[in-house]
Amino acid sequence: MSETEVRFGSLKADLEELEQLLGIAKQKRIIILLKAEKAVVEKQLQQLNKAASPRNVVPTVTITSYAWDQSEKFVKIYLSNLGGIQNIDPTNVTLNTKEQPNTVNVKNLKGKNYVFQIPKLAHAVEEPTIKIKTDMILIMLKKQELRKWDVLTDKERIKKEENTVPLSKQNEDADPSQSIMHMMKKMYDDGDDEMKRTIAKAWTQSREKNEPML
């Protein structure tokens, strides 16, 4: 049992006893004293109840939608739909770069907290900075390498690479003989004299028979 609960039980017992005494008291002066003490105990009980009541919990909203664009040197992420954010205390908007992923936190914006996790990006950047705009937050990320980004996140980059078939592979799929010819040429270029003589002989015999060496 907590200290608060013990205190609450003690005050309740005091109040019950005071009520019993008031029921049997006859002297006016005693009644006045008992009523005064009862008022003190009741006030203490009210204060304990107030302290024990759960405080209003501010809901936290995780921001999952955003927009982005880029310039030659910077990638920019826009967190919109934050109505009135330019009017709150600037200290309520913070950027945490000490832990991964970096997070943007907004406290008590119209009764809500907001958090945004900067995703793992497709390419390397410097430490981010934030700017508060009208109804939005702008996250600035300086590129370490001056190049145009096709996608923002590392997840998108990997997915794009997985879905991209190299042109050489496409050609091989379209014409299997090209794949074999490429392999034979590589074996000839990389092979020793004996390997080269063997491949040359097979090639000559194939041409004499007018048959493709497949």
Euclidean distance between CA atoms 45 and 36, whole angstroms: 15
Euclidean distance between CA atoms 101 and 133, whole angstroms: 23
CA distances from 134 to 32, 65, 99, 105, 131 (A): 63, 17, 28, 17, 10
Of the pLDDT bands very low, low, confident and very high (cuts 50, 70, 90), residue 213 is very low
In a domain, 77, yes or no: yes
Q: What is the pLDDT of residues 131-166, one digit of tens each?
A: 999 999 999 999 999 999 999 999 999 998 888 755
Whether the full predicted model's pTM is greater than 0.75, yes or no, is no
Domain holding 21, by residue range, is 3-52
Asked if residue 147 and residue 86 are part of one domain, the reply reads: yes
Which residue type sits at 71? S
In a domain, 44, yes or no: yes
Q: Which of 124, 137, 133 is nearest to 65 (CA)?
A: 137
Identify the domain boundary among 128, 152, 176: 152
Asked if residue 36 and residue 80 are part of one domain, the reply reads: no
Give backbone dihedrals phi and psi of 186, rounded to 5 degrees, phi first.
-65, -40
Asked if residue 139 and residue 176 are part of one domain, the reply reads: no
Decide if pLDDT at 44 tops 70: yes
Top-confidence residue, 36 or 187: 36
Q: What is the pLDDT of residues 7-18, one digit of tens each?
A: 888 888 888 988
Helices (H), 113-166: 154-163
Euclidean distance between CA atoms 30 and 22, whole angstroms: 8
Decide if pLDDT at 67 tops 90: yes
In a domain, 160, yes or no: no
